[in-house]
Amino acid sequence: MGKYKNLSAASALGMNGEQKKCVGKFESAEEEPDGNNDGSGECKSEIILEEDWHASYRNSLKNIDDLSRFVSISEEDKPLLKQVIKTFHTRIPLYYLSLIKDLNDIDSPIRRQCIPSIEEIKGEIHEKIDPLGEEKTSPAPCLVHRYPDRALLLVTGRCFMYCRHCTRKRLWRSRIPEPTLKDIDLALSYVRQNRQIREVIVSGGDPLTLPTEKIDYILSSVSEIKNVEVIRIGTRAPVVLPQRIEGNLCKVLEKYENLWINTQFNHPDEITPQAILACKKLQRCGIVLSNQSVLLKGVNDNAKIMLELCQKLQAIRVRPYYLYQCDPVVGAHHFRTSILRGIDILENMRGHTSGMCIPTFVVDGIDGKGKIPISPNYLLSASPEGLTLRNYKNETFFYYNPKE
Ligand code: SF4
Protein backbone atom coordinates (compact mmCIF):
# COMPACT_ATOMS: atom_id res chain seq x y z
CA MET A 1 0.00 0.00 0.00
CA GLY A 2 1.39 3.34 -1.01
CA LYS A 3 2.06 5.64 1.84
CA TYR A 4 0.67 9.10 1.48
CA LYS A 5 3.02 11.73 2.75
CA ASN A 6 0.56 14.53 3.24
CA LEU A 7 2.03 17.50 4.96
CA SER A 8 -0.43 18.32 7.66
CA ALA A 9 -2.83 20.10 5.39
CA ALA A 10 -4.95 21.34 8.26
CA SER A 11 -2.01 23.07 9.82
CA ALA A 12 -1.06 24.47 6.42
CA LEU A 13 -4.25 26.49 6.16
CA GLY A 14 -3.39 30.03 7.16
CA MET A 15 -5.15 31.46 10.18
CA ASN A 16 -4.96 34.94 8.67
CA GLY A 17 -6.49 34.64 5.29
CA GLU A 18 -3.81 33.43 2.94
CA GLN A 19 -4.25 30.44 0.66
CA LYS A 20 -1.78 27.61 1.13
CA LYS A 21 -0.99 24.44 -0.70
CA CYS A 22 -0.50 20.97 0.58
CA VAL A 23 0.92 18.38 -1.74
CA GLY A 24 0.68 14.63 -1.34
CA LYS A 25 3.11 12.14 -2.86
CA PHE A 26 3.29 8.35 -3.14
CA GLU A 27 6.63 6.93 -2.16
CA SER A 28 7.04 4.54 -5.10
CA ALA A 29 5.21 3.27 -8.18
CA GLU A 30 5.23 -0.35 -6.95
CA GLU A 31 3.51 0.59 -3.74
CA GLU A 32 0.45 2.03 -5.49
CA PRO A 33 -1.94 -0.92 -5.95
CA ASP A 34 -4.98 0.47 -7.66
CA GLY A 35 -3.87 1.67 -11.03
CA ASN A 36 -4.29 5.31 -10.03
CA ASN A 37 -0.62 5.89 -10.40
CA ASP A 38 0.74 7.22 -13.67
CA GLY A 39 3.99 5.35 -13.24
CA SER A 40 5.99 8.35 -12.18
CA GLY A 41 5.72 7.31 -8.54
CA GLU A 42 3.62 10.34 -7.74
CA CYS A 43 -0.08 10.52 -7.08
CA LYS A 44 -1.39 13.67 -8.71
CA SER A 45 -3.06 14.62 -5.50
CA GLU A 46 -2.69 18.16 -4.43
CA ILE A 47 -4.84 19.61 -1.74
CA ILE A 48 -5.24 23.33 -2.11
CA LEU A 49 -6.93 24.88 0.86
CA GLU A 50 -8.77 28.11 0.24
CA GLU A 51 -9.63 30.63 2.87
CA ASP A 52 -12.70 31.90 1.01
CA TRP A 53 -15.60 29.67 2.01
CA HIS A 54 -17.49 30.12 -1.26
CA ALA A 55 -14.47 28.85 -3.20
CA SER A 56 -13.96 25.98 -0.74
CA TYR A 57 -17.59 25.01 -1.02
CA ARG A 58 -17.52 25.19 -4.82
CA ASN A 59 -14.31 23.20 -5.06
CA SER A 60 -15.49 20.36 -2.84
CA LEU A 61 -15.18 16.88 -4.29
CA LYS A 62 -18.47 15.69 -5.74
CA ASN A 63 -17.74 12.68 -7.91
CA ILE A 64 -15.74 9.49 -7.81
CA ASP A 65 -13.30 10.47 -10.56
CA ASP A 66 -12.38 13.66 -8.70
CA LEU A 67 -12.14 11.74 -5.48
CA SER A 68 -9.80 9.17 -6.99
CA ARG A 69 -7.30 11.94 -7.74
CA PHE A 70 -6.71 12.10 -4.00
CA VAL A 71 -7.70 8.76 -2.55
CA SER A 72 -6.94 5.34 -3.95
CA ILE A 73 -10.13 3.67 -5.19
CA SER A 74 -9.86 0.36 -6.99
CA GLU A 75 -11.10 0.10 -10.60
CA GLU A 76 -13.42 -2.64 -9.39
CA ASP A 77 -15.04 -0.38 -6.77
CA LYS A 78 -15.39 2.69 -9.00
CA PRO A 79 -18.59 1.67 -10.88
CA LEU A 80 -20.18 0.53 -7.62
CA LEU A 81 -19.32 3.78 -5.89
CA LYS A 82 -20.72 5.70 -8.86
CA GLN A 83 -23.94 3.83 -8.24
CA VAL A 84 -23.80 4.71 -4.54
CA ILE A 85 -23.50 8.42 -5.18
CA LYS A 86 -26.41 8.35 -7.63
CA THR A 87 -28.51 7.40 -4.62
CA PHE A 88 -26.66 9.29 -1.90
CA HIS A 89 -24.58 12.00 -3.43
CA THR A 90 -21.23 13.18 -2.24
CA ARG A 91 -19.63 16.44 -1.28
CA ILE A 92 -16.34 16.64 0.59
CA PRO A 93 -14.58 19.94 1.31
CA LEU A 94 -10.84 19.66 0.70
CA TYR A 95 -10.30 21.00 4.20
CA TYR A 96 -12.09 17.97 5.67
CA LEU A 97 -10.29 15.59 3.29
CA SER A 98 -7.00 17.05 4.52
CA LEU A 99 -7.76 15.81 8.04
CA ILE A 100 -7.32 12.20 6.90
CA LYS A 101 -3.89 11.25 8.17
CA ASP A 102 -3.31 8.47 5.63
CA LEU A 103 -5.53 8.89 2.56
CA ASN A 104 -5.18 5.22 1.70
CA ASP A 105 -6.27 3.98 5.08
CA ILE A 106 -9.84 2.83 4.46
CA ASP A 107 -10.34 2.55 8.22
CA SER A 108 -9.46 6.18 8.91
CA PRO A 109 -12.20 7.64 11.16
CA ILE A 110 -12.29 10.81 9.06
CA ARG A 111 -12.36 8.91 5.77
CA ARG A 112 -15.22 6.73 6.97
CA GLN A 113 -17.37 9.78 7.64
CA CYS A 114 -16.91 11.43 4.24
CA ILE A 115 -16.03 8.89 1.53
CA PRO A 116 -18.87 6.79 0.12
CA SER A 117 -18.88 3.07 0.68
CA ILE A 118 -20.56 0.28 -1.24
CA GLU A 119 -22.10 -0.73 2.12
CA GLU A 120 -24.54 2.15 1.60
CA ILE A 121 -26.50 0.30 -1.05
CA LYS A 122 -26.63 -3.01 0.80
CA GLY A 123 -30.08 -2.91 2.36
CA GLU A 124 -30.65 -4.21 5.87
CA ILE A 125 -33.93 -5.06 7.51
CA HIS A 126 -35.09 -2.61 10.19
CA GLU A 127 -33.67 0.32 8.19
CA LYS A 128 -35.90 3.20 7.18
CA ILE A 129 -35.40 6.19 4.93
CA ASP A 130 -37.04 8.40 7.59
CA PRO A 131 -36.36 6.48 10.81
CA LEU A 132 -37.54 9.28 13.10
CA GLY A 133 -40.84 9.68 11.24
CA GLU A 134 -40.14 13.37 10.68
CA GLU A 135 -42.39 13.51 7.63
CA LYS A 136 -45.32 12.14 9.62
CA THR A 137 -44.89 14.81 12.28
CA SER A 138 -44.67 17.71 9.84
CA PRO A 139 -47.71 19.99 10.17
CA ALA A 140 -46.36 22.66 7.75
CA PRO A 141 -43.76 22.77 4.98
CA CYS A 142 -40.20 22.19 6.27
CA LEU A 143 -41.38 22.05 9.89
CA VAL A 144 -41.27 19.09 12.28
CA HIS A 145 -43.26 19.37 15.50
CA ARG A 146 -42.68 16.38 17.73
CA TYR A 147 -42.26 17.76 21.26
CA PRO A 148 -44.70 20.19 22.87
CA ASP A 149 -42.43 23.20 23.38
CA ARG A 150 -40.04 23.06 20.43
CA ALA A 151 -40.13 22.74 16.67
CA LEU A 152 -37.57 21.89 14.01
CA LEU A 153 -37.29 24.11 10.95
CA LEU A 154 -35.56 22.37 8.03
CA VAL A 155 -34.41 25.34 5.96
CA THR A 156 -32.28 23.52 3.39
CA GLY A 157 -31.37 20.05 2.21
CA ARG A 158 -27.79 21.11 1.39
CA CYS A 159 -24.72 20.46 3.50
CA PHE A 160 -21.06 21.46 3.29
CA MET A 161 -20.32 17.76 3.45
CA TYR A 162 -22.63 14.81 3.08
CA CYS A 163 -21.79 12.73 6.15
CA ARG A 164 -22.18 9.10 5.21
CA HIS A 165 -23.98 8.31 8.49
CA CYS A 166 -26.57 11.11 8.24
CA THR A 167 -30.07 10.50 9.61
CA ARG A 168 -31.54 12.85 7.01
CA LYS A 169 -30.07 11.12 3.98
CA ARG A 170 -33.57 11.34 2.56
CA LEU A 171 -33.22 15.12 2.16
CA TRP A 172 -30.16 14.94 -0.04
CA ARG A 173 -30.93 11.58 -1.66
CA SER A 174 -33.37 12.73 -4.25
CA ARG A 175 -32.41 16.39 -4.56
CA ILE A 176 -35.82 17.47 -3.37
CA PRO A 177 -36.53 21.16 -4.04
CA GLU A 178 -35.12 23.58 -1.52
CA PRO A 179 -37.69 25.21 0.78
CA THR A 180 -38.71 28.62 -0.56
CA LEU A 181 -39.12 31.73 1.57
CA LYS A 182 -42.87 31.18 1.23
CA ASP A 183 -42.48 27.66 2.71
CA ILE A 184 -40.46 29.10 5.60
CA ASP A 185 -43.03 31.85 6.20
CA LEU A 186 -45.81 29.23 6.27
CA ALA A 187 -43.85 27.15 8.77
CA LEU A 188 -43.31 30.19 10.96
CA SER A 189 -46.97 31.11 10.93
CA TYR A 190 -47.61 27.63 12.39
CA VAL A 191 -45.07 28.43 15.15
CA ARG A 192 -46.80 31.77 15.75
CA GLN A 193 -50.16 30.07 16.14
CA ASN A 194 -48.86 27.36 18.48
CA ARG A 195 -47.89 29.38 21.49
CA GLN A 196 -46.50 26.48 23.46
CA ILE A 197 -43.52 26.44 21.07
CA ARG A 198 -40.78 28.36 22.88
CA GLU A 199 -37.73 27.04 20.99
CA VAL A 200 -37.10 26.78 17.25
CA ILE A 201 -34.25 24.62 16.01
CA VAL A 202 -33.01 25.83 12.63
CA SER A 203 -31.51 22.84 10.90
CA GLY A 204 -31.52 20.97 7.58
CA GLY A 205 -29.19 20.08 5.81
CA ASP A 206 -26.84 22.71 7.14
CA PRO A 207 -28.43 26.16 7.53
CA LEU A 208 -25.05 27.89 7.23
CA THR A 209 -24.81 26.80 3.57
CA LEU A 210 -27.46 29.45 2.88
CA PRO A 211 -26.45 32.98 1.87
CA THR A 212 -25.80 35.11 4.95
CA GLU A 213 -28.68 37.47 4.07
CA LYS A 214 -31.11 34.54 3.97
CA ILE A 215 -29.86 33.32 7.36
CA ASP A 216 -30.46 36.82 8.71
CA TYR A 217 -33.97 36.85 7.24
CA ILE A 218 -34.80 33.49 8.84
CA LEU A 219 -33.36 34.39 12.25
CA SER A 220 -35.06 37.77 12.36
CA SER A 221 -38.39 36.21 11.29
CA VAL A 222 -38.10 33.58 14.04
CA SER A 223 -37.03 36.07 16.68
CA GLU A 224 -40.03 38.30 15.93
CA ILE A 225 -42.39 35.52 17.07
CA LYS A 226 -43.42 36.44 20.62
CA ASN A 227 -43.65 32.89 21.97
CA VAL A 228 -40.15 31.95 20.75
CA GLU A 229 -37.65 32.42 23.58
CA VAL A 230 -34.73 30.46 22.17
CA ILE A 231 -33.32 29.84 18.68
CA ARG A 232 -30.91 27.01 18.09
CA ILE A 233 -28.88 26.35 14.92
CA GLY A 234 -27.55 22.89 14.10
CA THR A 235 -24.46 23.07 11.88
CA ARG A 236 -21.34 21.07 11.09
CA ALA A 237 -19.58 24.13 9.61
CA PRO A 238 -16.95 24.45 12.40
CA VAL A 239 -16.04 20.80 11.82
CA VAL A 240 -16.09 20.40 8.04
CA LEU A 241 -15.63 23.91 6.63
CA PRO A 242 -14.51 26.26 9.41
CA GLN A 243 -13.83 29.01 6.85
CA ARG A 244 -17.60 29.56 6.79
CA ILE A 245 -17.44 31.23 10.21
CA GLU A 246 -16.31 34.58 8.80
CA GLY A 247 -16.86 38.23 9.68
CA ASN A 248 -20.15 38.89 7.87
CA LEU A 249 -21.78 35.79 9.26
CA CYS A 250 -20.60 36.65 12.78
CA LYS A 251 -22.02 40.18 12.45
CA VAL A 252 -25.41 38.63 11.69
CA LEU A 253 -25.30 35.94 14.38
CA GLU A 254 -24.23 38.28 17.16
CA LYS A 255 -27.46 40.27 16.72
CA TYR A 256 -29.50 37.39 18.16
CA GLU A 257 -28.97 37.21 21.90
CA ASN A 258 -31.09 34.10 22.37
CA LEU A 259 -29.12 32.06 19.81
CA TRP A 260 -27.45 28.75 20.64
CA ILE A 261 -25.42 26.62 18.26
CA ASN A 262 -25.04 22.85 18.31
CA THR A 263 -22.35 21.25 16.21
CA GLN A 264 -21.17 17.70 15.57
CA PHE A 265 -17.55 16.79 16.30
CA ASN A 266 -17.24 13.01 16.20
CA HIS A 267 -13.50 12.44 16.52
CA PRO A 268 -10.59 14.25 18.23
CA ASP A 269 -8.78 14.66 14.87
CA GLU A 270 -11.55 17.08 13.87
CA ILE A 271 -10.50 19.53 16.59
CA THR A 272 -7.90 21.42 14.56
CA PRO A 273 -6.58 24.99 15.01
CA GLN A 274 -9.04 26.06 12.29
CA ALA A 275 -12.00 24.41 14.01
CA ILE A 276 -10.97 25.93 17.35
CA LEU A 277 -10.75 29.38 15.73
CA ALA A 278 -14.22 28.94 14.20
CA CYS A 279 -15.64 28.02 17.62
CA LYS A 280 -13.88 31.00 19.24
CA LYS A 281 -15.38 33.37 16.67
CA LEU A 282 -18.85 32.06 17.47
CA GLN A 283 -18.22 32.29 21.20
CA ARG A 284 -17.08 35.91 20.78
CA CYS A 285 -20.55 36.55 19.32
CA GLY A 286 -21.91 35.50 22.70
CA ILE A 287 -23.12 32.12 21.44
CA VAL A 288 -23.03 29.06 23.68
CA LEU A 289 -21.73 26.05 21.76
CA SER A 290 -22.70 22.45 22.43
CA ASN A 291 -21.78 19.26 20.65
CA GLN A 292 -23.92 16.35 19.52
CA SER A 293 -21.73 13.41 18.52
CA VAL A 294 -23.05 10.32 16.82
CA LEU A 295 -21.76 6.95 18.01
CA LEU A 296 -20.17 5.52 14.86
CA LYS A 297 -18.56 2.14 14.34
CA GLY A 298 -14.89 2.52 13.40
CA VAL A 299 -14.95 6.24 14.19
CA ASN A 300 -15.51 6.79 17.89
CA ASP A 301 -16.92 3.55 19.29
CA ASN A 302 -14.50 3.25 22.15
CA ALA A 303 -14.14 4.98 25.49
CA LYS A 304 -10.56 6.18 24.91
CA ILE A 305 -11.48 8.13 21.77
CA MET A 306 -14.71 9.45 23.23
CA LEU A 307 -12.91 10.57 26.39
CA GLU A 308 -10.26 12.39 24.36
CA LEU A 309 -12.92 13.99 22.15
CA CYS A 310 -15.03 15.19 25.07
CA GLN A 311 -12.05 16.49 27.06
CA LYS A 312 -10.81 18.42 24.03
CA LEU A 313 -14.29 19.85 23.53
CA GLN A 314 -14.51 20.92 27.15
CA ALA A 315 -11.10 22.62 26.85
CA ILE A 316 -12.43 24.79 24.00
CA ARG A 317 -15.70 25.49 25.83
CA VAL A 318 -17.88 23.36 23.60
CA ARG A 319 -20.15 21.40 25.94
CA PRO A 320 -20.44 17.67 25.10
CA TYR A 321 -24.22 17.56 25.12
CA TYR A 322 -25.46 14.40 23.42
CA LEU A 323 -23.99 11.16 22.20
CA TYR A 324 -26.54 9.79 19.75
CA GLN A 325 -27.05 6.16 19.00
CA CYS A 326 -26.71 5.99 15.18
CA ASP A 327 -30.23 5.77 13.73
CA PRO A 328 -31.34 2.82 11.57
CA VAL A 329 -31.39 4.94 8.43
CA VAL A 330 -31.14 3.36 4.98
CA GLY A 331 -27.53 3.49 3.84
CA ALA A 332 -25.83 3.68 7.24
CA HIS A 333 -25.99 0.16 8.68
CA HIS A 334 -22.18 -0.13 8.61
CA PHE A 335 -21.91 2.67 11.19
CA ARG A 336 -24.31 1.21 13.70
CA THR A 337 -23.18 -0.34 16.97
CA SER A 338 -25.16 -2.08 19.65
CA ILE A 339 -26.68 0.25 22.25
CA LEU A 340 -24.68 -1.76 24.80
CA ARG A 341 -21.51 -0.33 23.25
CA GLY A 342 -22.68 3.19 24.10
CA ILE A 343 -23.50 2.15 27.68
CA ASP A 344 -20.06 0.61 28.01
CA ILE A 345 -18.41 3.81 26.76
CA LEU A 346 -20.26 5.90 29.33
CA GLU A 347 -19.43 3.38 32.05
CA ASN A 348 -15.77 3.94 31.23
CA MET A 349 -16.09 7.71 31.24
CA ARG A 350 -18.19 8.36 34.36
CA GLY A 351 -15.89 8.93 37.34
CA HIS A 352 -12.81 8.96 35.13
CA THR A 353 -13.35 12.53 34.02
CA SER A 354 -15.37 15.57 34.96
CA GLY A 355 -19.13 15.27 34.64
CA MET A 356 -19.02 18.27 32.28
CA CYS A 357 -17.18 16.07 29.77
CA ILE A 358 -19.84 13.40 29.74
CA PRO A 359 -22.60 13.66 27.16
CA THR A 360 -26.04 12.18 27.65
CA PHE A 361 -26.30 9.01 25.58
CA VAL A 362 -29.64 9.02 23.75
CA VAL A 363 -31.56 6.74 21.46
CA ASP A 364 -33.98 8.51 19.18
CA GLY A 365 -37.17 6.43 19.25
CA ILE A 366 -38.29 5.09 15.89
CA ASP A 367 -41.17 6.88 14.16
CA GLY A 368 -41.10 9.99 16.30
CA LYS A 369 -41.17 8.38 19.75
CA GLY A 370 -38.66 10.97 20.94
CA LYS A 371 -35.26 10.84 22.62
CA ILE A 372 -34.68 8.26 25.32
CA PRO A 373 -31.67 8.80 27.61
CA ILE A 374 -29.77 5.60 28.39
CA SER A 375 -27.11 5.23 31.02
CA PRO A 376 -25.24 2.52 32.90
CA ASN A 377 -27.26 1.25 35.83
CA TYR A 378 -26.06 2.70 39.12
CA LEU A 379 -29.29 2.01 41.01
CA LEU A 380 -29.33 -1.68 41.99
CA SER A 381 -32.45 -1.77 44.15
CA ALA A 382 -34.87 0.59 45.86
CA SER A 383 -37.24 0.36 48.83
CA PRO A 384 -38.95 2.97 51.06
CA GLU A 385 -36.04 2.54 53.45
CA GLY A 386 -33.34 3.33 50.90
CA LEU A 387 -31.43 2.45 47.77
CA THR A 388 -28.60 0.15 46.90
CA LEU A 389 -26.26 2.11 44.69
CA ARG A 390 -23.11 1.32 42.74
CA ASN A 391 -20.30 3.80 42.10
CA TYR A 392 -17.88 4.04 39.15
CA LYS A 393 -15.43 1.69 40.93
CA ASN A 394 -18.19 -0.92 41.11
CA GLU A 395 -18.43 -0.57 44.90
CA THR A 396 -21.96 -1.01 46.22
CA PHE A 397 -23.45 0.68 49.27
CA PHE A 398 -26.79 1.35 50.91
CA TYR A 399 -28.13 4.91 50.94
CA TYR A 400 -30.90 5.59 53.51
CA ASN A 401 -33.91 7.61 52.46
CA PRO A 402 -34.92 10.48 54.77
CA LYS A 403 -38.12 9.88 56.74
CA GLU A 404 -41.04 11.59 54.96
S1 SF4 B 1 -24.04 18.04 8.19
FE2 SF4 B 1 -25.69 17.12 9.38
S3 SF4 B 1 -27.46 17.12 8.03
FE4 SF4 B 1 -25.64 17.42 6.75
S5 SF4 B 1 -25.04 15.38 6.09
FE6 SF4 B 1 -23.86 15.85 7.93
S7 SF4 B 1 -25.08 14.97 9.61
FE8 SF4 B 1 -26.44 15.17 7.80
Counting from 1 in the atom list of ligand 1, the atom nearest the Cα of 203 is 3
Q: What is the dihedral of CA 306, 307, 308, 309, to 10 degrees?
A: 50
CA distance 307 to 350: 10
Pocket test for ligand 1, best of 164, 236, 291, 295 (most atoms within 8 A of CB): 236
Please give the C-alpha separations between residue 34 and each of 27, 104, 208, 222, 302, in angstroms, as whole numbers.
14, 10, 37, 52, 31
**Cα dihedral 205/119/371/231 (nearest 10):** -10
Cα 167 from Cα 14, distance rounded (Å): 33
- Residue 329 in contact with ligand 1 by CB distance below 6 A: no
Closest to 183 measured CA to CA, from 204, 159, 197, 168:
204
Cα of 172 from ligand 1 centre, angstroms: 9
Query: Which segments in the chain show pLDDT lower than 70?
Result: 1-46, 172-176
State whether the beta carbon of 205 lies less than 6 angstroms from ligand 1. yes
User: In the chain, count of helices (H) and strands (E)?
Assistant: 14, 14
- The 10 Å Cβ neighbour count of residue 347 is 17
Measured in angstroms, how far is the CA atom of residue 198 from the centroid of ligand 1? Answer: 25
212-223 vs 181-193: helix crossing angle, rounded to 10: 20
Cβ-proximal residues to 325 (8 Å cutoff; 6+ apart), any chain? 295, 337, 339, 342, 361, 362, 363, 364, 374
Neighbours of 78 (CB within 10 A): 16
At 173 the pLDDT is: 65
CA distance 112 to 269: 13
- Residue of the nearest CA to atom 7 in ligand 1? 166
The domain segmentation of the chain, as residue ranges, is 9-118, 143-373, 376-404
What residues are annotated to the active site? 146-147, 150, 159, 163, 166, 168, 327, 364, 371
The mean of the pLDDT values for the chain is 88
| Cis amide leading into 365 (omega within 30) | no
Q: CA dist 16 to 97, 253, 375, Å?
A: 21, 21, 43
Q: Which of 133, 99, 164 is nearest to 296 (CA)?
A: 164
For residue 205, which atom of ligand 1 is closest to its CA? 3
Who's near 65: CB < 8 A, 6+ residues apart?
A: none
Nearest to 300 by CA among 337, 353, 352: 337
At 182-231, the pLDDT tens digits run 999 999 999 999 999 999 999 989 999 999 999 999 999 999 999 999 99
Helices of type H across 32-158: 53-58, 64-67, 77-87, 94-97, 109-114
Give the model's pLDDT for residue 46. 67
Strand partners, 390: 396
143-373 — its CATH code?
A: 3.20.20.70
pTM metric for this prediction = 0.88
Distance CA 86, CA 329 (A): 17
